[in-house]
């Protein structure tokens, strides 16, 4: 990212590009944690070298896991050898900082709850204002002793006393992969069989990765069970590209007639590809070529050819599987003909920013016709966007979504305080240059 921490975006015509996006954020967090619990060294290739995922690796190091890093170049992919501890973590000497990452904090909470030592998790102002009650509740039912000590009720810092855990059957009130994962990871340290029941499908990276590490899980409808006391068997992993990062370029190419884009080696896990389904419904021309299927994470290439898009409705069970892509899908809605309606997405209000408010405010600032709802928004597309000076409210996905909007706006768009992009997408600025959005 440039030292000035702002991006000046110029409008572009169609482009032709081949891109490889950085490793998947959700999978990288899980790889650091599960490899750290495994019974030997695990080589993780294409680990996402972003602030969020580096914080999770650092957290594991603080818990006694040794890691050897190698990196091709500043923004390039990273290989990390994680020396697993056979479930034998050790007491950290001070507070563990999860930075901006809700996934890092909630998943680490799952493993810290059942340790024999005390520990504390904290984060930046945004993370310390996000709800942690959703993980505290099931962990307490397992016998954990933890306290949310933040200024805002139910928020981090989280202080753990460390206790032996018992197993539970937990019916999740919100469809959250982070809650599901926290309970399953805690279940690994609990006595007996822990079951989580999700109200609707959420990303299943934890289940896939635990299985890759030889952990036996039970699946029955929307229930997933794990028997405590199992030790992950060391294995190597290759992290696919992050479809949530690819989504920015998918929209940039899909909404511009004449554009062509190929994204290679991106994760195509069906619990993450709802963004592609929505774009296809909007009339986008996207072709998927699977390059690896079966065990582990499905991976493949996506090829996009620009065309005219039209609005669609996004709601219900589809929401958890595209929750992180809603900011960029809203931008696609503004660029499309007709109306896009987004409902049942109240969870957006407790992400890195209140993403309903921040998307609506920035779309309005660019001249779009958008109405805010409690649980989403309605966008009447086809209005010409104009450049504006936009804040991203410390939220990486808002910064990137509106950088893409800037490619379609009249005049210059300035995105302020873009340092947050480093939490998930090192190299974003370079890729933006590749598609012509900033001067070479």
Q: Which residues are catalytic?
A: 324
Least distance to ligand S3P, CB of residue 166, Å:
24
Nearest to ligand S3P of 87, 243 (CB atom): 243
Residue 26 in contact with ligand S3P, rule: CB under 6 A: yes
Least distance to ligand S3P, CB of residue 177, Å:
4
Residue 194 in contact with ligand S3P, rule: CB under 6 A: no
Residue 55 in contact with ligand S3P, rule: CB under 6 A: no
Instruction: Give the C-alpha separation, 342 to 375, whole Å.
Output: 8
Q: Residues 305 to 324: which contact ligand S3P by CB under 6 A?
A: 320, 323-324
Least distance to ligand S3P, CB of residue 183, Å:
12
Closest listed residue to residue 288, CA positions, set 296, 276, 272: 276
Which H, E and C letters describe the chain, residue by residue?
A: CCCCCEEEECCCCCCEEEECCCECHHHHHHHHHHHHHCCCEEEEEEECCCHHHHHHHHHHHHCCCEEEEEECCCCCCEEEEEECCCCCCCCCCCCEECCCCHHHHHHHHHHHCCCCCCEEEECCCCHHHCCCHHHHHHHHHCCCCEEECCCCCCCCCEEECCCCEECCEEECCCCCHHHHHHHHHHHHHEECEEEEECCCCCCCHHHHHHHHCCCCEEEECCEEEEECCCCCCCCCEECCECHHHHHHHHHHHHCCCCCEEEEEEEECCCCCCHHHHHHHHCCCEEEEEEEECCCCCCEEEEEEECCCCECCEECHHHHHHCHHHHHHHHHHHHHCECEEEECCCHHHHHCCCCHHHHHHHHHHHCCCEEEEECCEEEEECCCCCECCEECCCCCHHHHHHHHHHHHCCECCEEEECHHHHHHCCCCHHHHHHHCCCCCC
Tell me phi and psi for residue 45, to 5 degrees.
-100, 150
Nearest to ligand S3P of 63, 177 (CB atom): 177
Contact predicate 84/38, CB 8 Å: yes
Nearest to ligand S3P of 187, 311 (CB atom): 187
Between the CA of residue 386 and those of 7, 36, 94, 378, 411, what are the distances in Å?
16, 48, 48, 19, 6
Residue 207 in contact with ligand S3P, rule: CB under 6 A: no
Least distance to ligand S3P, CB of residue 346, Å:
11
Q: How many residues bind ligand S3P (CB under 6 A)?
A: 12
Site string for ligand S3P, 221-260 (x = CB under 6 A): ----------------------------------------
Nearest to ligand S3P of 408, 428 (CB atom): 428
Listed ranges 122-130, 150-158, 172-180, 284-292: which one lies at the site for ligand S3P (CB under 6 A) = 172-180
Nearest to ligand S3P of 287, 315 (CB atom): 315
Q: Residues 344 to 383: which contact ligand S3P by CB under 6 A?
A: 347
Listed ranges 44-52, 147-155, 171-179, 426-434: which one lies at the site for ligand S3P (CB under 6 A) = 171-179
Site string for ligand S3P, 63-102 (x = CB under 6 A): ----------------------------------------
Binding ligand S3P (rule: CB under 6 A), the pick from 62, 163, 203, 265 is: 203
Residue 103 in contact with ligand S3P, rule: CB under 6 A: yes
Binding ligand S3P (rule: CB under 6 A), the pick from 115, 176, 259, 299 is: 176
Nearest to ligand S3P of 204, 301 (CB atom): 204
Residue 269 in contact with ligand S3P, rule: CB under 6 A: no
Nearest to ligand S3P of 75, 352 (CB atom): 352
Least distance to ligand S3P, CB of residue 28, Å:
9
Listed ranges 87-95, 108-116, 170-178, 425-433: which one lies at the site for ligand S3P (CB under 6 A) = 170-178
Residue 177 in contact with ligand S3P, rule: CB under 6 A: yes
Residues in touch with ligand S3P (CB under 6 A): 26, 103, 176-178, 181, 202-203, 320, 323-324, 347
């Amino acid at each position: 990212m440039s030292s000035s921490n702002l991006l000046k975006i110029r409008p572009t015509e169609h482009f032709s590009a081949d891109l490889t996006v950085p490793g998947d954020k959700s999978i990288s967090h899980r790889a650091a944690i599960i490899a750290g619990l495994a019974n030997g060294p695990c080589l993780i290739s294409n680990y996402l070298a972003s602030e969020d995922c580096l914080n999770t690796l650092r957290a594991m190091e603080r818990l006694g896991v040794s890691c050897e890093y190698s990196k091709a170049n500043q923004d390039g992919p990273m290989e990390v050898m994680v020396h697993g501890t056979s479930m034998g973590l050790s007491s950290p000497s001070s507070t563990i900082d999860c930075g901006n990452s809700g996934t890092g904090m909630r998943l680490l909470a799952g493993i810290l709850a059942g340790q024999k030592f005390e520990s504390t998790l904290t984060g930046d102002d945004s993370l310390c204002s996000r709800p942690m009650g959703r993980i505290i509740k099931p962990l307490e039912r397992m016998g954990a002793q933890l306290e949310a000590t933040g200024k805002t009720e139910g928020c981090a810092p989280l202080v753990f006393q460390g206790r032996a855990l018992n197993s539970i059957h937990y019916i999740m009130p919100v469809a959250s992969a982070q809650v599901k994962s926290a309970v399953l990871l805690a279940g690994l340290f609990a006595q007996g069989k822990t079951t989580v029941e999700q109200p609707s499908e959420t990303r299943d990276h934890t289940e896939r990765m635990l299985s890759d590490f030889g952990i036996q899980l039970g699946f029955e409808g929307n229930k997933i069970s794990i028997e405590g006391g199992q030790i992950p068997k060391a294995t190597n992993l290759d992290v696919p590209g992050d479809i949530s990062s690819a989504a920015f370029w998918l929209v940039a190419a899909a909404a511009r007639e004449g554009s062509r884009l190929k994204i290679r080696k991106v994760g195509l896990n069906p619990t993450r590809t709802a963004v592609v389904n929505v774009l296809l419904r909007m009339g986008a021309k996207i072709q998927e070529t699977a390059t690896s299927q079966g065990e582990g994470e499905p991976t493949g290439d996506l090829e996009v050819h620009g065309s005219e898009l039209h609005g669609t409705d996004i709601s219900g069970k589809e929401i958890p599987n595209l929750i992180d892509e809603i900011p960029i899908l809203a931008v696609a809605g503004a660029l499309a003909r007709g109306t896009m309606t987004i409902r049942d997405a109240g969870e957006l209000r407790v992400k890195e920013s209140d993403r309903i408010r921040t998307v609506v405010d920035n779309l309005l600032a660019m001249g779009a016709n958008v109405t805010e709802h409690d649980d989403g928004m309605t966008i009447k597309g086809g209005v010409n966007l104009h450049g504006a000076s936009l804040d991203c409210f410390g939220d990486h996905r808002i910064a990137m979504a509106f950088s893409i909007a800037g490619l379609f706006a009249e005049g210059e768009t300035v995105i302020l305080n873009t340092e947050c992009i480093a939490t998930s997408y090192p190299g974003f600025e370079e890729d933006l240059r590749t598609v012509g959005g900033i001067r070479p």
